[in-house]
Structures are given as structure tokens and as C-alpha cells.
Homo-oligomer: A and B are copies of this chain.
Amino acid sequence: MPATATAISARSVPAFALDPNSVISVRDATVRPLAKTPTRCSSCNLREICLPCGFSGQDTDRLDELVYTRRTVKRGESLYRAGDAFNSLYAVRSGFFKTTQTLEDGRDQVTGFQMAGEILGMDGIGPEQHGCSAVALEDSQVCVIPYARLEQLSHEMPGMQRQFHKMMSREIVREHGVMLLLGSMRAEERLAAFLLNLSQRFTARGYSPSEFNLRMTREEIGSFLGLKLETVSRLFSRFHEESLIKVWQKSISILDIAGLRRLMGQRMH
């Protein structure tokens, strides 16, 4: 069986994020009144794809002790920068972020894109300071999760501890996927994998799997994929010609998911 997008982004290689097991019917979630008490995890419409995922009602309530602040980050602003002291993790409540890692000589690289329900800042725990910067790609809001409180709650609730371990572990798995992508895929495979991954993550959030807007520039995509922006642009054009996708500026329609998946299976030959 050739490598399918599902395989890449979901099973052994969750290329960028989100366990497929947490792919939920968001319709169900959105039926409920939207965030009457919006700072509470227990009533958050993201609870099934965010930190609370997997908790039962009673336990979810306890999460409300954890998250008591929101923070708004305008497009282009940083949530934190490399070198900042580490105090909190952040759950994306709305909007879109990129994380970038910088080398002393100025080179820097996008290490990930984060959307609603995803957690930012886990790389800061070990060094006790952030190693990368998180920048909002559109006006965004995050829930602040003070790490000390998370530790405390993990101590009291074994379920919480395990949930948090799982989240960190999944981040490691996600990065393995990116390493595979950067280390062994050709440019067209990388871009196909990228699009399929975005599609999957939008789907999990109740959006269309095939129509979405890119929040990032060609350069940011290229940086993430280890390619130059011109290469990304050319590939978009080629995918367009081949009727795999429709691109117009930042708006993307995926026309042939199976075709993209097929692309990904091809060995560097």
C-alpha cells in the first residue's frame, strides 16, 4: 500500500498534529450555545479537540481551575519570543499561529503552524525559557495555562497528568513526521503532505476539508517545508494545472484528494 495522506498525517506519522482519534463531529459541539461563560473549558466548544479532550464531565469542570486568563494577540504580534522566561502554555482559542526557531546567523525556520485547540509552548518547560517565537498570523486569542498550576492539577488528577503526557508525546510524534518530511520527501510530496494535513485539521474543526484559506505566506510555507518560496509558488501552479487543486492567492480548493495522496507515495527516485 502506498503511503497515503491518512497514513502520514494520522497513524504512524501524524505529520503535523492532531490525533485522528480526536477527529470528532464538531456539529455536535457547535449545537450548544457558544461560550456563555467563555473562559471555562467545560463549556468551550473546542473541548473535544483541545486539552480537555478525553475527560468526562466532572473532570472537565476541574479544568476550569486551570485556565482563567485569555490573551488576545493581533496579527503579526508575538505571543512569546525565543529567550522569554517560560511560565505558561497556551491553547489557541481562535486564530492562527506560527512558531519559528532562529539561528544566530539570522536564518530562521518555521517549525509549525497552530490552529484552534492546539497547544503552544511545550518546548519551554525543559530549558525554562522559550526556545522559539510564536507569532499570530491573524488576530487570535489564546487561553493561558500557567504551568505551575498545570503541575499542581496533574498532581491531584492522575487523568490530567496522563493527558498532558500524551499531548507532549504527540508533539514528539508530530515532529517525527516533519523530520520524515524534511529528510526523505521531494518538494511536491512535501507540499502535498502539507495541504492534506491542513485539510485534515480543518475537517476536525468542522470546516470544509477541501476549501480553506492559507493564513501564511509562500515564504512561510517554504520555510516550514525546507523549500524556497519560488518553489512553493511553482508547485502550487503545477498542482493547479494538473487539476489537483485550485489556488488563487491564499485561497485553496482541493479538487483531487486521492491525487494528492498518490503524489505523496512516490519514492524519491
Contacts and interface: CB of A to CB of B under 8 A. Distances in A.
B184 A103 contact: yes
A132 interface: yes
A101 interface: yes
B131 A13 contact: yes
Q: Is the contact region of chain A dominated by helix, strand, or loop, or is it mixed?
A: helix
A85 interface: no
Interface range on chain A (Cβ under 8 Å from partner):
35 or more
A179 B111 contact: yes
Contacts of A167: 126
Contacts of A267: 105-107
A179 B176 contact: no
A179 B126 contact: no
Given A158-B151, A175-B179, A176-B132, A82 B12 contact: yes
A165 B162 contact: no
Given A8-B103, A101-B179, A165-B168, 4 more contacts: A3-B107, A12-B103, A19-B127, A107-B268
Interface of A: 1-4, 7-8, 12-13, 19, 82-83, 101-107, 109, 111, 122-127, 131-132, 151, 154-155, 158, 161-162, 164-173, 175-180, 182-184, 223-226, 265, 267-268
